[in-house]
Structure 1
């Protein structure tokens, strides 16, 4: 059945998005090429493309001691753009795929479908897939307008004003912090960098991608957060006693998470998200070996210091910034630096989303926040719930905004599996209605 598919994206190229289109050439994938699986039917496609295109040979720094290759993220964005161009040029259904270079601001139900607003313009579609990326970072202090406070390090040119010898204090110690440190060092920065986060946790290093397949939680998962943690630790100890690594257990949990996550009582899932998620994130979202080595170098040489504690506030003047904080187990104090950079990660509160379409849809009752506060509420097929608790006909949500249902929809294989489920659901709906216009946003 030929379809008319519009992809609404203001960027000039399709496929890269924020993750692979807004990064510098110095930023690497945090997994090797053979783990970047867009389709389970062709698991080695990107790794093969990387070799045949010559991009692998151009990037010897991506090679690690175990023979793996961690490509630049921008290169993966090029690969994704090529896939989209190929689908536009020809596909098995004969569908027409159009790139609409606009920003979708509103969405509202109308007779026969949905109306998407682009400022003063609008267009009507039978079906919509909301596939927006993460929101901008949350701001962990009262908003302060100052040129030496960088609220969003992903804005173009955000780090340009930082001098090579400037001192920096960073809020947040996850992968965004890693990217900022990599960018600064690549630009020749040699000043002191202080990193402060609530727990001082940093992404753990990669160490192979074997999967320990005996988790067995698909049918009878632990029913409390405490049971889950105890069982996880027990299984890690068993694997390590046999010469394995903890990463293999986490890999197995990640693969099986969609099968058992919703079988855990909601109250306990909320406890897991609140108390265990910070630890899950640093073990799940691990750093490329090149990045881990740089952080260790920085700590050894003294130009990088990572601390745990609570940030109370931030003030700025022409002379720099002052961050008030209390170290874990210590007394309240102040860190003085030339610049402050916010690396706390995406804001999960969709009411504050940097995407106008999400804020408006929530306010208008088109969507509702999920019970865990991680994004948009959806069912097993990716269909969105409205503010009245009813499923919205013809409205799906893909990607990180729908991760509360599966527990994790951030990594590429996870998103690919989720999108396949949505595509099957959408195809079934189209077959029932015999309509011929769909849209992805």
Structure 2
């Protein structure tokens, strides 16, 4: 099912507006590495804007928009933001909800009564959102306005004119006048205390491996490393599979992600006036704001919704030292309140806790030893000097993405780093990025050819993980590319000298 959308936003160029010239038939070559939500959303926005460019997305998956989150076929994996706030189009916040309601009405999407909460909000399965992204992209893929190349980038070279040539895993090559990095974050590394279990069937390093999870004995005693959203996904999946054994989730603070609350009106707190300049000041202002909102009959959810909306402005006023201090001391508290559980998943966790089959502990895992029929785990509770030894049947790693190793993990990023064209973010959150989302090279200068989309730019923006924030960020990147496409015939005549008979890619 492909639902017709309203007329697109204003175009940057229309073939009816003026006679076609050689410069107009020559297009800038834009290549996006990564076809998850950020990369797919950027390609879609460029197509909707009719930017004068050939847009290619290099993504090994068969469908664009189906990154790690939205490729899951697990029925209990649901979006953790209400459907009316999810969209590819920042100008139409309820685009996904409108698509969802129409799809259910015409029968192209099976009904899912469990997705609707008591408050009437919808939290559909994550694969449904992936389908929405795919259907929005489909017309542009069919016309060739967006080209999807199913491959991985194995290496990158820089040409004398400054453009980049990408060597792909299928042995083909693509030239890019503008390169956008939208690869997301790498999978979590196996933590050192359990590294000795690598290769053992008792260690599950990929928490989204459905086969490995299904193979676990239903009565197995399971240790989950991590307590955030991925951990909740694992627990909910095990529960659906009929798991009966005890599950222990260990993390530094022992805090799990919070659920959603009802927000009847927006918080009126302003975290930008006066500007906040330190992590301690931010904490103090948030605490006072929660008290003020509670006095108005609101829960802390309203405060954090406001905090999330003003996050980029808050982050921009903090210097490097206070950004680092905030990450060091407040990141866990922010994450468990900001990245909330879908109500359906929260209900599972609450039930298992009440049944004493699930517990969250704060501490540090020290070692794991393989025994004949189990694992001996040694850990130290937070704030204690005494070690504890417990026996488990399996360990599942859900410690979150290894943001600091994105360059080492990805051959394309590694190649660009060797060329001196990108550098890591000093906070270890991804790649160094300018105000306009251009990459920062080894000399500290802004690259005019490489842009950073999605979570890799988090160090500059501060809050850039959820789909709504990523859609807003890639919208600004789309406008920047449109600007460069308009100026290309003047600033880069060699880059657009190829005519329609030449290979546009």
Q: TM-score, normalization: structure 1?
A: 0.93
Compared with structure 1, are the counterparts of its residues 249 and 369 closer, same or farther at alpha carbon in structure 2 (3 Å cutoff)?
same
Gaps of 5+ in 1: none
1:263-278 equivalence runs, <5 A: 263-278=317-332
After the TM superposition, which residues 37-436 of structure 1 pair with which residues of structure 2 at under 5 Å, given as runs?
37-54=87-104, 58-90=111-143, 96-110=145-159, 111-119=161-169, 120-142=171-193, 143-144=195-196, 145=198, 146-155=200-209, 157-209=211-263, 212-218=266-272, 220-330=274-384, 331-350=386-405, 353-434=408-489
Secondary structure of the structure 2 residue equivalent to 1:376: coil
Q: Which has the higher contact order (CA 8 A, sep 6+)?
A: 1
Determine the C-alpha separation between the residues in 1 that align with 2:245 and 2:414. 39
Task: Give the gaps of 5 or more residues in structure 2.
Answer: 1-50, 490-494, 499-505
1:37 shift after superposition: 2.3
C-alpha displacement at 1:160, in angstroms? 3.0
Aligned residues: 433
Looking at structure 2, the residues matched to 267 and 273 of structure 1 have their Cα atoms a distance apart, in angstroms, of 10
Secondary structure (helix, strand or coil) at the match of 1:346 reads coil
Contact (CA 8 Å) 1:168, 1:340: kept in 2 or not?
A: yes
Report how far residue 57 of structure 1 moved. Answer: 5.9
Task: Tell me the CA shift for residue 140 of structure 1.
Answer: 2.3
CA-CA distance at 1:284 after TM superposition: 0.3
Distance 1:215 1:377, change over 3 A: farther
Match of residue 10 from structure 2: none
Q: Between 113-122 and 382-391, report the one with greater CA deviation.
A: 113-122
Could you list the per-position Cα deviations for residues 118-173 of structure 1 after superposition, in whole angstroms to 9, with x for gaps in the alignment?
Answer: 24443211111111122101322242221210112124533132121111101100
Q: Give the ranges of 4+ consecutive aligned residues of structure 1 lying more than 6 Å apart after TM superposition.
A: none
Task: Verify the 8 A CA contact 1:8 1:99 in the aligned structure 2.
Answer: yes
Deviation at 1:213, TM superposition (A): 4.6
* Contact 1:88–1:98 (CA under 8 A) maintained in structure 2: yes
User: After alignment, is 203-212 or 66-75 more displaced?
Assistant: 203-212
Question: 1:257 Cα shift?
Answer: 1.3
What CA deviation, in whole Å up to 9, does each residue of 1:317-366 have, x standing for no partner? 44122221101244211221111000111111135653332334334432
Structure possessing the higher radius of gyration over alpha carbons = 2
**SS state at 2:403 partner:** coil
CA RMSD across the alignment: 2.0
Q: 1:24 aligns with which of 74, 93, 106?
A: 74
Cα shift readout 1:151-207 (whole Å, capped 9, x = no counterpart)? 121245331321211111011000000000111111111111111111001011101
Offset at residue 210 of structure 1 (A): 5.6
**Partners in 2 of 1:357 and 1:321 — Cα distance?**
38
Distance verdict in 2 for CA 1:363–1:297, change over 3 Å? farther
Question: What's the TM-score, normalizing by structure 2?
Answer: 0.82
Change (3 A) 1:209 1:20: farther
